[in-house]
Structure 1
Amino acid sequence: MKALLSLRPWLGVLAERRGRLLLGAVLMLATLLSALGLLSLSGWFITATAIAAVSASGYLDVFTPGSGIRFFAVSRTVSRYLERLYNHDTILRLLADLRGRVFARLVTLDARTLARARASQWLNRLTADIDTLDNLYLRLLAPPLVALLSILAFAAFAAAFLPIAGIVLLAILLPLGLVATAGCAWWGWRASHRRVDRQERLRVRAIEQVEGLAELTSYRALDAHRALWHREERALLDDQRRLGQRTAMGNLVVTVGIQLATLAVLLLGLEAFRSGQVSGPVMVMLALGTLAVSEGLGNLPMAFTQLGATVRAAERLNAQAELKTPLTGERLTSGGAAPSLDYRNVEVAHGARVVFSGLNLSLDPGQRVGIIGASGIGKSTLAQLAVRAFDPQGGRVEFDHQDIAGLAPDSLRARIGYLTQRSELFHDTLAANLRMGDPDASDAQLWDALERVELKAWAEALPEGLETWVGEQGRQLSGGQARRVALARVMLRDSPLVILDEPLSGLDAATAASLAKTLDAWLAGRTALLLGHDEAALPRCDRYWRLVPSGVGGRSGSELVKT
Structure 2
Amino acid sequence: MTAFRLLWTAADQLTRRNLLLAAVLAGTAELCAAGLLGVSGWFLTSCAVVTAQANTTWSWMYPSGTVRALALGRTGLRYSERLVSHGALLGATVSLRSRLVRAATTVPARELRDHRDGALMARLTSDVGAVGGTAGQVFPPLAGIGLTAAAVVTLLMVTSPPSGAAELLLLALSTATAVTAERRTRGHQRTAAQAWAAARTSLLSARSALPELRCLDAVDLVRDQVADAVGRARCAEAAAASVMRRSRLLLRLLAVAGQTALLVLALSGPVFRQPAADAIAEVLLVAAAYELMETLPQVLCDHGLAADAAQRLTDLANRALPDELPTTSAPGALLAGTAGALVARQVPVGIDDVRTEWSAVIEPGSVVMVTGPNGSGKSTLLATLAGRISPAAPRSVLLDGVPVESLPAHAIADLLTLVEAEDWIADATVAENLRQAAPGADDDTLRAALAATALERLPLDAPTGPLGGALSQGQRRRLVIARAVLRAPAVLLLDEPTAGLDDRTAVRMLTGVRRALPDSALVIALPDRHEDLIPFAATHVLRLQATPRAATVE
- Alpha carbons of structure 1 residues 283 and 412: separation in structure 2 relative to 1, 3 Å: closer
Q: What is the TM-score of this pair, normalised by structure 2?
A: 0.69
State the SS of the aligned residue for 1:333: coil
Aligned equivalent of 1:12, options 5, 9, 12: 5
Paired residue for 1:87? 85
Question: Which AA in structure 2 matches 1:242?
Answer: A
State the SS of the aligned residue for 2:489: coil
How many residues of Structure 1 are paired with residues of Structure 2 in the alignment?
529
Paired residue for 1:294? 290
Structure 1, 505-514 or 493-502: larger mean CA deviation: 505-514
Paired residue for 2:247? 250
Percent of pairs identical after alignment? 23
Question: What does 1:167-246 align with in structure 2 at a 5 Å threshold?
Answer: 167-168=161-162, 170-186=164-180, 189=183, 192-193=186-187, 195-196=189-190, 199-212=193-206, 213-214=209-210, 232-246=229-243
Paired residue for 2:146? 148
Paired residue for 2:387? 388
Paired residue for 2:256? 259
Aligned equivalent of 2:23, options 4, 22, 25: 25
Shift of 1:291: 2.0
Once the two structures are superposed, residues 25-72 of structure 1 have per-residue CA deviations (whole angstroms, 9 ceiling, x without a partner) of: 112112212211332333344445556766646687666555544443
- Contact 2:106 2:319 (8 Å CA) reproduced: no
Shift of 1:299: 0.8
- Alpha-carbon separation, structure 1, partners of 2:304 and 2:415: 47
- Alpha carbons of structure 1 residues 185 and 54: separation in structure 2 relative to 1, 3 Å: closer
Shift of 1:300: 0.9
Question: Which AA in structure 2 matches 1:182?
Answer: A
Paired residue for 2:323? none
- Alpha carbons of structure 1 residues 450 and 554: separation in structure 2 relative to 1, 3 Å: closer
- Contact 2:366 2:539 (8 Å CA) reproduced: no
State the SS of the aligned residue for 2:348: strand
- Alpha carbons of structure 1 residues 476 and 546: separation in structure 2 relative to 1, 3 Å: closer
Uncovered stretches (5+) of structure 2, i.e. residues with no partner? 321-325
- Alpha-carbon separation, structure 2, partners of 1:68 and 1:475: 69
Paired residue for 2:492? 498
State the SS of the aligned residue for 1:525: coil
State the SS of the aligned residue for 2:151: helix
Aligned equivalent of 1:34, options 29, 32, 35: 32
Residue 9 of structure 2 corresponds to residue 43 of structure 1: no
- Alpha-carbon separation, structure 1, partners of 2:295 and 2:82: 15
State the SS of the aligned residue for 2:365: coil
**C-alpha RMSD of the superposition:** 5.8
State the SS of the aligned residue for 1:414: helix
- Contact 2:123 2:312 (8 Å CA) reproduced: yes
- Alpha carbons of structure 1 residues 536 and 448: separation in structure 2 relative to 1, 3 Å: farther
Question: Which AA in structure 2 matches 1:151?
Answer: A
Shift of 1:148: 2.8
Shift of 1:358: 3.8
Question: Which AA in structure 1 matches 2:242?
Answer: Q
Question: What does 1:118-133 align with in structure 2 at a 5 Å threshold?
Answer: 119=117, 133=131
- Alpha carbons of structure 1 residues 506 and 73: separation in structure 2 relative to 1, 3 Å: farther
- Alpha-carbon separation, structure 1, partners of 2:106 and 2:66: 59
State the SS of the aligned residue for 2:331: coil
- Alpha-carbon separation, structure 2, partners of 1:92 and 1:431: 37
- Contact 2:127 2:309 (8 Å CA) reproduced: yes
- Alpha-carbon separation, structure 2, partners of 1:94 and 1:372: 52
Paired residue for 1:4? none
- Alpha carbons of structure 1 residues 484 and 104: separation in structure 2 relative to 1, 3 Å: farther
- Alpha-carbon separation, structure 1, partners of 2:170 and 2:505: 74
Shift of 1:413: 4.8
- Contact 1:345 1:358 (8 Å CA) reproduced: yes
Uncovered stretches (5+) of structure 1, i.e. residues with no partner? 1-7, 463-469
- Alpha-carbon separation, structure 1, partners of 2:430 and 2:76: 45
Shift of 1:296: 2.2
Question: Which AA in structure 2 matches 1:495?
Answer: P
Residue 332 of structure 2 corresponds to residue 333 of structure 1: yes
Q: What is the TM-score of this pair, normalised by structure 1?
A: 0.68
